[in-house]
Structure 1
Amino acid sequence: MEDEGSMSARDGLVFGAHWALLAFIASLGAYYALSLLLSGLAFHGSIGLSDLGPLVLLAFVPNLLLGLGPVLASRRWGRGVRAEFGLRPTGRDVRVGLACGGFSLLAAYVLNLVLLQVYGDDYLSDDSTTDVLRDMTSDLAWLVLAALVVVVAAPLTEELLFRGALWTGLEHYRVPPWAILVLTALLFAQVHGEPERTLALLGQGIAIGAARLITGRVSASMIAHATNNLPPALLLFGAA
């Protein structure tokens, strides 16, 4: 006779909640905890800042946790990453992803113009992630690595968390799709920690999430996210 815990896990529930929602909470918590730890070590000089190139990798370590939790949870309690999230892109995923990524870039352009009117020169002087990475080093090898992080690694981990684990968990509780789209976009904007750009990030998050809404697959939103991140990644080489 199976115990109650095994039966719950088979139904997708772990400790009374859906495994995907728990994976989201645990991954986001680990991300913030590790970010604070690394920031504290850097502030107190425990991490040397003489060679800034490797910081590209160091800065991405907390981000890696965003995708690791959903992967491990889906393998332990779900049907695996491919079955739960649809990580093997189809032709339709590529087409929808590219289209939604293009709309995301358009939304960012329009909303940034609005924000520029609100914040003026202060908005332009606010350092973006791209500016920070570009200022780290002029070494071409590190710039290539930074570009790969921006275009490939970050979209993979962030989409597994937001349009993967969080979306799947909310779907389990029958939250309306439009509400899931908005909520995931809001949290996506918040996690970037750029208050002045929240409106633009929200618009981008909705456009990227639309790829998941249309196809039902995370691979489409990953392609949309990568498309959105491609121009900033190319700007990294402007100072090379």
Structure 2
Amino acid sequence: MDRSREDPLPIRAGLVLGAHWGFLAFFAGLGAYYLLSLLLTAFAIGGDGEVGSLRLPELGPLVLLAFVPNLLLGLAPVLAARRWGRGVLAEFRLLPNARDVKVGLACGGFALLTGYLLNVVLLEVYGTDRLTDPLTEVFGGIASDAGWLIVAALIVVVAAPLTEELFVRGALWNGLVHHRVPPWVVLVLTALVFAQLHGEPTRTIALLGQGIAIGAARLITDRVGASLVAHATNNLPPALLLFGGS
């Protein structure tokens, strides 16, 4: 039997403090993410905008450092699923199957198209000064180091989609579905969270459109594995463009 099509659990199952454990994982992960981001910014960046008190010998390690807060986004759902749920694989259906790959590739391609078209419109509204490429801003300083570029690309295509999907289309989505929120509302709400999480106000509309396209993979299959493939597909071309300046 396909567990993705089973009836939802009883409304009282899996509750922590009166709500589904996915909400606890969501708010704990979000709080830890922002707290660690603030701490890393305070310690790593000096008043002159250069690498400060951490005294890193080169910009390469900042690739890993920038990803550390994202780890907490994925860690909270993993720990919560193991503690109060049925485990990571059963709760999120994380490992993509053949259908997940097909649906994920299609939704990821649509996310790319949506993001491109909306960013073209936003570029006309904001101009190049306000609408910049976030990957270039973060990883531009390692453009001459092929090894760190590969690490950065793997983070963008594999690691970041994994943690973000566990967080948004995993823990939050499961919590909303458990409490009988209509599917289209779940899709839009998680897309809004996805857009806000990136902290790019000028690109929020484009990120919202991409979030809906990626979330459609979860909606169609009821599996995080499908949205993970969609997210990775959406991130692949920007990651490859990192090598353009190397």
TM-score (norm 2): 0.90
| Residues 52, 137 of structure 1: 8 Å contact kept | no
Residue 180 (structure 1) aligns with: 186
| Residues 97, 221 of structure 1: 8 Å contact kept | yes
How far the C-alpha of 1:135 sits from its partner, in A, is 2.4
Alignment of 1:1-240 (within 5 A): 11-44=13-46, 45-124=52-131, 126-240=132-246
Cα distance between partner residues in 1 of 2:31 and 2:169? 17
Residue 8 (structure 2) aligns with: none
How far the C-alpha of 1:129 sits from its partner, in A, is 2.4
Cα distance between partner residues in 1 of 2:23 and 2:33? 15
1:148-202 CA distance string (max 9 Å, x none): 0000000000000000000000111111110010010011000101100000000
TM-score (norm 1): 0.93
1:52-93 CA distance string (max 9 Å, x none): 001101110000000000011001100011111001211100
| Residues 109, 233 of structure 2: 8 Å contact kept | yes
Cα distance between partner residues in 1 of 2:45 and 2:148? 23
Equivalent position amino acid for 1:156 in 2: L
Equivalent position amino acid for 2:108 in 1: G
Cα distance between partner residues in 2 of 1:81 and 1:130? 33
Cα distance between partner residues in 1 of 2:186 and 2:82? 23
Equivalent position amino acid for 2:22 in 1: A
Cα distance between partner residues in 2 of 1:168 and 1:215? 13
| Residues 130, 233 of structure 1: 8 Å contact kept | no
| Residues 70, 164 of structure 1: 8 Å contact kept | yes
Q: Which structure shows the bigger proportion of residues in helix conformation? A: 1
Structure 2: any 5+ residue segments left out of the alignment?
Answer: 1-11, 47-51
| Residues 66, 160 of structure 1: 8 Å contact kept | yes
Cα distance between partner residues in 1 of 2:56 and 2:123? 33
Cα distance between partner residues in 2 of 1:33 and 1:123? 26
Structure 1 stretches (4+) deviating beyond 4 angstroms? Answer: none
1:78-130 CA distance string (max 9 Å, x none): 00111110012111000000000000000011101110111123244x34124
Residue 4 (structure 1) aligns with: none
SS at match of 2:229: helix
Equivalent position amino acid for 2:163 in 1: T
The CA RMSD over aligned residues, in Å, is: 1.5
- Identical positions, percent: 73
How far the C-alpha of 1:43 sits from its partner, in A, is 2.5
SS at match of 1:58: helix
| Residues 143, 243 of structure 2: 8 Å contact kept | no
How far the C-alpha of 1:133 sits from its partner, in A, is 1.0
Equivalent position amino acid for 1:31 in 2: Y
